[in-house]
Amino acid sequence: MTLFSDLGFKWDRAAMPRDLPVHTIKRVCFQFHRMLPEFVWDTSVLEGNPFTFPEIKTLLDGVT
C-alpha cells in the first residue's frame, strides 16, 4: 500500500505537460509582489475582515 492508494488518490504522471514554462527568480518575485495585495485581500475576506482592496494596498505600502 502507498500513501496515494490509502487516500484514494490516483496520479497519472503521463497526463502532466512536459513543456512547463521556466522563469527567472527576478520575474517570479516581481509577479509575486504584484499579486500580493490580491492574496492578502482574498485571505482577509475569508477571515471576515472589513478591509477593502484599496485599504489593503495602502496598508501593504506602509501607510497607516
* Distance in angstroms between the alpha carbons of the first and the last residue of the chain: 55
Answer whether 37's CB lies under 8 Å from 57's CB.
yes
Q: Give the three cell numbers for residue 12.
A: 497519472
The three grid cell numbers given for residue 58, joined into one nine-digit string: 495602502
At 22 the three-state DSSP class reads: coil
Instruction: With cut-offs at 50, 70 and 90, classify the pLDDT of residue 5.
Output: confident
Q: What is the pLDDT of residues 12-47, one digit of tens each?
A: 888 888 898 999 999 999 999 999 999 999 999 999
Residue from 34, 62, 59, 61 nearest 49 by CA: 59
Grid coordinates of 21: 514554462
